[in-house]
Amino acid sequence: MAMLKTILGNLLRPSRTRDPADMPDVPPVYRGALAHDAARCTACGTCAFVCAPKAISFTQDPGVSVSWHFFIGQCSFCGLCAQNCPTQAISLNADVPAGMDSAAGDGLRLESVVHLQPCTRCGAAHVPLPDATMAVLWGTEEAERGYCPDCRRWAASARLRSAFVPAAAEEVHHER
């Protein structure tokens, strides 16, 4: 009789296991797929250098853009790239990448394009530094913000020269 009661009780009760949709939450520190912020990337290549499985690579379209490529099928989710990125352009999402139907192909590849900007002094195309970095280096109003690395070096040496030889400061202004 007791057995019959149990059976009847279980017939009316919903399932006591988790539904496939009701999965345990992913921990917030879980290292999932990578996200790349092109506005913060300086294309320095540190992430590609520290990536042990070579999941990250850069390609360039000279004078126009630099592309950051990530192939999730080759990633071991160690997080070294996010740890070593000097401008925090890379972060690891906490969400789980879903299954892919395509072969190690399109769905698994991520591309992020960093557009080059012309230098405000010489016009050479270069990867702009992220705003936060520039604010620390030169404040928000400085003319050097739009300079390419060469012009920045020139500006730094010009400043140095004018500090030693005040007369040279005049020349600098004429040059511009």
Partner 1 sequence: MNLIERVVAISRRRSPWICRLNAGSCNGCDIEITPLLSPRYDAEQLGVELHGTPKHADIVLISGTLTLRSREAILDIYAQVPNPKAVVALGSCPASGNVFAGSPLVLSESLDSVVPVDVWVPGCPPRPQAILDGIARAAKLLEDGATKSQLQNWLGRLS
Task: List residues near partner 1 by CB under 8 A.
Answer: 15, 17-20, 23-24, 26, 30, 32-33, 52-55, 71-77, 96-104, 108
Q: Which is nearer to partner 1, 101 or 141 (CB)?
A: 101
Q: Which is nearer to partner 1, 32 or 118 (CB)?
A: 32
Q: Which is nearer to partner 1, 52 or 160 (CB)?
A: 52
Q: How many other C-beta atoms are found inside a 10 Å radius of the C-beta of residue 87?
A: 16
What CA–CA distance (Å, rounded) separates 67 from 39? 12
**Least separation in angstroms between CB 77 and partner 1:** 5
**Least separation in angstroms between CB 89 and partner 1:** 21
**Least separation in angstroms between CB 165 and partner 1:** 55
Pairing of strands 65-71, 56-61: antiparallel
Q: Which is nearer to partner 1, 30 or 49 (CB)?
A: 30
Contacting residues for 17 by C-beta, under 8 A, at least 6 apart: none
Helices 149-164 & 168-175 angle (0-180, nearest 10): 150
**Least separation in angstroms between CB 159 and partner 1:** 46
Contacting residues for 54 by C-beta, under 8 A, at least 6 apart: 48, 74
Q: Which is nearer to partner 1, 20 or 28 (CB)?
A: 20
What CA–CA distance (Å, rounded) separates 126 from 116? 5
**Least separation in angstroms between CB 161 and partner 1:** 50
